[in-house]
Amino acid sequence: MINLALVVIKTDKLHKQSEFYSSLGFEFDYHRHGNGPYHYASIGKNPVLEIYPLPKGTEIADHTTRLGFVVDDLNQVVQTLIDKGISIIGEPIQTEWGYTAVVQDPDGRKIELTEKGK
């Protein structure tokens, strides 16, 4: 058996990203380990989502990674994102994989949201 335990994204928009992912239901702690960079780390959910600053010498965040999350109430999450001005790439629809929508995080990553149990 294998379970995904950690996802790390790197960005130059730390606060915006933490706000975006908080809208999906994540809660974050802002801290650092030793002399490492300050970053956000989610608490209370698996996998742990960490939001780190871009490495030195990197100017543009990766936007080709696609992430997917299961949410309790897709329509509510999508409305919250719309109210915050977040891009909705694909409106909620019933697919063979469930009731799903695709949104975009502040770096341009496509984020697939699927409602739990639908």
Q: Where are the beta strands (DSSP E) in 35-81?
A: 39-43, 48-53, 67-71
Superfamily of domain 6-56+65-115: 2,3-Dihydroxybiphenyl 1,2-Dioxygenase, domain 1 (3.10.180.10)
pTM of the model: 0.92
pLDDT at 65: 95
Question: What pLDDT does 11 receive?
Answer: 98
Q: Which of the four pLDDT bands, split at 50, 70 and 90, describes residue 14?
A: very high
Structure confidence at residue 45 (pLDDT): 79
Angle at the Cα of 7 from the Cα atoms of 25 and 42, rounded to 5 degrees:
40
- pLDDT-derived band at 31 (thresholds 50, 70, 90) equals very high
Summarize pLDDT for 78-99 with one digit per residue, the tens.
999 999 999 899 999 999 999 9
Q: What is the tens place of the pLDDT at every residue in 37-83?
A: 999 999 997 899 999 999 999 999 999 999 999 999 999 999 999 99
Number of Cα atoms under 13 Å in the Cβ half of residue 108: 6
How far, in Å, are 25, 54, 55, 94 from residue 14 at the CA level?
A: 17, 9, 13, 32
Give the pLDDT of residue 36: 93
Is residue 118 predicted with pLDDT exceeding 70?
A: no
- What is the token pair recorded at 8? 């790390």
Question: What pLDDT is recorded for position 116?
Answer: 87
Strands (E), 1-118: 6-11, 27-31, 39-43, 48-53, 67-71, 88-95, 98-104, 110-115
- C-alpha–C-alpha distance, residues 39 and 2, integer Å: 26
H/E stretch holding 22: helix 14-23
